[in-house]
């Protein structure tokens, strides 16, 4: 099958720190007089893309992942013909619809209605084709009252809703979307993802950049991983996302202090190490919402007869305390004096408790169950990832500080034959 998108050896170079070009002849002459022997200073070069090659078949849904600065947005701009590559070539067959930022392609002085027809014309659509989709687009964007208002007066949310609705409903053969989930409320995000899913099921081609790995795995057949402007991996969505998450895992998942003299603590207790890991894995392995994990702390007790406790406070990315835990049920050492030596304390957290997101761990070392010897605000930091199998077709953020996997039962009380349905 002939590919609908083909990239061959794409590279894009930018020059950083070069002098700005002169706007007038007077500026150019004055610059030459001031520095007759000195040319324009050479700027530092940055390769946003380096020798990127791939093909996309018609009807394929391809995700693009990578850290900030990896070249994802640059690649989409090259594919959308917004930016020319420094070298290499792109072949695209059919109409291309792009949503790379809020209101891409909109003219601020034109109304929502006028911008819809303008965008359709740019895509090569006839007026009657746009009119056939007009009511559906307006209803999706929820801007009926403002459709004849200049879009410069729209809020960012209204702008985004209309821009996405136009890009998705005017039926381009290739839809290019850059982080559509970055703007808008939860209900709008669900609508966007649902529409992208229907676009994919209609057999149109989608290129999708997002940091939402759940949506990436749920929507995409294949994922391309960019790193430093190069293709690091290209394959099945689940496999590539798993590798990406593992390598991008926070370095704060494990910390070691070898020298007791400089380790965090005081003259009574010093930390040796702190780590968080899946129960059957290593600190570099990802933790999902269903993964049981362990937080382990090794520490030197430097004085005899110390009755010690560790207290942990887990905080999410919004600063909300998830929970506080301490070893009140520890069977051996709780309430007993510690001799000098190296100790390890571990706390196991069951799977099916945490919500997805970034987590920071505060550590408090307590003497005699009442005196805080010292505190370490961010002793660990890690990410809890979503597993696509948990959400099926639900891709938005699940609300709540935690997300316990609780047991539910339903029974028929009246009516029907009284038998449970077949499973």
The HSE-up count of residue 45 (CA atoms within 13 Å, CB side) is: 8
The CATH superfamily of 5-20+42-247 is P-loop containing nucleotide triphosphate hydrolases (3.40.50.300)
Tell me how far apart the alpha carbons of residues 48 and 210 are, in angstroms, rounded to a whole number.
Answer: 18
Helix, strand and coil percent figures for the chain, each rounded to 5: 25, 35, 40
Question: Comparing C-alpha atoms, which of 298, 267, 300, 260 is closest to residue 373?
Answer: 267
| 251-385 matches 5-20+42-247 in CATH topology | no
- Distance in angstroms (rounded) separating the CA atoms of residues 264 and 374: 9
Q: Per-residue pLDDT tens for 239-287?
A: 888 788 766 555 588 999 998 888 999 889 999 999 999 999 998 888 9
> How large is the angle between the packed helices 112-122 and 127-141, nearest 10 degrees?
130
Q: Which segment of 82-86, 119-123, 187-191, 260-264 scores lowest on mean pLDDT?
A: 187-191
Measured in degrees and rounded to the nearest 5, phi and psi for residue 65 equal -120, 165
Domain range annotation of the chain:
5-20+42-247, 251-385
Res 326: pLDDT = 92
pLDDT tens digits, 387-403: 655 555 555 567 788 88
* Per-residue model confidence (pLDDT) at position 180: 58
d(CA 98, CA 140): 18
pLDDT given at position 56:
93
The CATH superfamily assigned to 251-385 is abc- transporter (atp binding component) like domain (2.70.50.60)
Q: Is the four-CA dihedral 139, 142, 146, 152 of positive or negative sign?
A: negative
């Amino acid at each position: 099958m002939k590919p609908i998108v083909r990239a061959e050896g794409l590279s894009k170079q930018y020059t950083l720190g070069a002098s700005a070009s002169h706007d007038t002849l007077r500026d150019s002459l004055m610059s030459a007089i001031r520095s007759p022997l000195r040319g324009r200073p050479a700027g530092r070069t940055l390769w946003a893309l380096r020798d990127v090659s791939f093909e996309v078949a018609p009807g394929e849904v391809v995700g693009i992942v990578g850290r900030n600065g990896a070249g994802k947005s640059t690649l989409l701009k090259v594919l959308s013909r917004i930016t020319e590559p420094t070298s290499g070539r792109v072949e695209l067959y059919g109409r291309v619809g792009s949503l790379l930022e809020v209101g891409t392609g909109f003219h601020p002085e034109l109304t929502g209605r006028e911008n819809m027809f303008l965008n359709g014309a740019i895509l090569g659509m006839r007026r009657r084709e746009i009119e056939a989709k007009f009511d559906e687009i307006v209803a999706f964007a929820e801007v009926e009252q403002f459709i004849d208002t200049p879009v410069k007066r729209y809020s960012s949310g209204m702008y985004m809703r209309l821009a996405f609705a136009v890009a998705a409903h005017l039926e381009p053969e290739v839809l290019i979307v850059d982080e559509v989930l970055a703007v808008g409320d939860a209900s709008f995000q669900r609508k966007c993802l649902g529409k992208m899913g229907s676009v994919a099921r209609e057999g149109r081609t989608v290129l999708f950049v997002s940091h939402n790995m759940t949506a990436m795995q749920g929507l995409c057949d294949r994922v391309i991983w960019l790193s430093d402007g190069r293709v690091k991996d290209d394959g099945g969505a689940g496999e590539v996302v798993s590798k990406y998450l593992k390598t991008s895992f926070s370095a704060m998942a494990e910390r070691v202090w070898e020298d007791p003299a400089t380790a965090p603590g005081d003259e009574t207790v010093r930390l040796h190490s702190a780590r968080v890991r899946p129960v059957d894995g290593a600190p570099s392995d990802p933790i999902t919402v269903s993964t049981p994990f362990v937080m382990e702390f090794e520490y030197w007790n430097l004085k005899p007869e110390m009755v010690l406790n560790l207290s942990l406070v887990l905080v999410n990315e919004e600063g909300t305390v998830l929970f506080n835990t301490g070893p009140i049920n520890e069977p051996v050492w709780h309430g007993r004096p510690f001799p000098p030596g190296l100790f390890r304390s571990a706390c196991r957290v069951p799977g099916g408790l945490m919500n997805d997101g970034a987590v920071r761990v505060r550590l408090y070392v307590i003497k005699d169950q009442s005196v805080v010897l010292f505190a370490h605000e961010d002793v660990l930091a890690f990410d809890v990832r979503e597993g696509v199998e948990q959400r099926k077709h639900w891709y938005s953020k699940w609300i709540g500080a935690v997300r316990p996997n609780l047991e539910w039962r339903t029974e028929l009380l009246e009516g029907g034959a009284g038998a449970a349905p077949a499973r």
